[in-house]
Structure 1
């Protein structure tokens, strides 16, 4: 039975370590306590050449924004292709901003992959201790035997080590308010960490939930 329990515990640990994907916010900066996104048209942009990833992340975040009554749209519907290698000068950036304003866009939510980090994690199972109690006798000064209980600690099972290699993705979400002056347009920066993602759909939805929590109080 102990062997079976040990095998089951190892299998559960493997599933937890290799299958779970987590999204957590590691930093959050807002220009002001209240981000007023009401009555404004929001465009969500995911900066990637992979249109499958781009479409998933943009549509999930847009759907979450709409659930809160916010007017939002995916950039994919306006800009079908994004070349992330092209570097724009200040005039070109300003022209794009003006074009977005002319299309009625007030807020831009830009998601960018900033870094990836590989890691190795070691998990140790087993090696627990059991306590054994046993009676001990000693002779008292009047020749009478007294009994008390002593104890020892012994290992109940050997240790097992599981080593797992994973990857973390660091994403940065930057929010601009195009209705403000140039030096006040940056209103929020959110950095998230995605640990060892397995499913694009699940991760994208979890990511959207975390971003919404920071944007809408």
Structure 2
């Protein structure tokens, strides 16, 4: 009997630790009523991340997801391989970039940034904890692509038998990502057409997260 209890406890702990692995949670979304108008646009996909490998992975997966949905999307590392996208730039540089994007036929931009990274200390007892979203539901200051693109950059790379209750304290790495879509053909303060804010907990690597993240983002845009 003791052996059966031991085996069961081990199994439950295995399931518990598995469920505490990497997860992607959409914490907030918004999209314009006429977002479908962007679906026919030529879209430039940008991921503002410190290391080129993470940038390429996220841009590749997001552009692939958009293409599978019938949209014309191109990763910025392919379109502009010599351009560093993850740095603060002044207004003049922003205008130069926008003029370049438009002259190359891009009518919309899907921009992904890592907004924050932090470590949480969690205590979990018999079934876990619930952590709320980070992002407020107001996007009034995001209206113009140039304002967001020029000022914000990402400073991050990227678990009928009684079982006694137990408590576990552990650390989790929390990444807060945001993908915003702008229609460059609209007036400056009306260019924002979609926002998806997400929380990624304990990612193993960019390679393991980029594809499911892209699918979650696309689901929010198209549903």
TM-score for the superposition, normalised by structure 2:
0.75
**Which residue matches 2:200?**
194
Give 3-state SS (helix, strand or coil) of 1:35's partner.
Answer: helix
Structure 2 distance, partners of 1:49, 1:32, is: 33
Q: Does 1:106 align with 2:111?
A: no
Q: Distance in 2 between matches of 1:175 and 1:181?
A: 14
Q: Partners in 2 of 1:68 and 1:182 — Cα distance?
A: 27
Structure with bigger strand share is 1
Runs of 5+ in structure 1 lacking a partner? 127-154
Structure with more of its chain in helix, by fraction: 2
Q: Which structure has the larger Rg over C-alpha atoms?
A: 1
CA shift at 1:40, angstroms? 1.0
Q: 8 Å contact 2:35–2:193 — kept in the other structure?
A: no
Counterparts of residues 41-52 of structure 1 (less than 5 Å):
41-52=42-53
Counterpart of 1:3 in structure 2 is: 6
User: Quick check: 1:49–1:82 contact (8 Å CA) kept in 2?
Assistant: no
Question: Following superposition of structure 1 onto structure 2, how do residues 71-86 of structure 1 map, counting pairs within 5 Å?
Answer: 71-80=72-81, 81-82=83-84, 84-85=86-87
Matches of 2:183 and 2:30 in 1, distance apart? 15
The count of aligned residue pairs is 186
The CA distance in 1 between the partners of 2:187 and 2:171, in whole Å, is 46
| Residue in structure 1 matched with residue 146 of structure 2 by the alignment | none
RMSD of aligned residue pairs (Cα, Å): 2.1
1:173 partnered with 2:179 = yes
Aligned to 1:88: 89
Pairing 1:30-49 to 2, within 5 Å after superposition: 30-49=31-50
Matching of residue 25 in structure 1 with residue 26 in structure 2: yes
- Deviation track 1:22-64 (CA, whole Å, cap 9, x = no partner) reads 1121111223354322321001000012111111100011111
- Which sits farther off after the overlay, 175-184 or 64-73? 175-184
Distance (whole Å) between structure 2 residues aligned to residue 102 and residue 7 of structure 1: 61
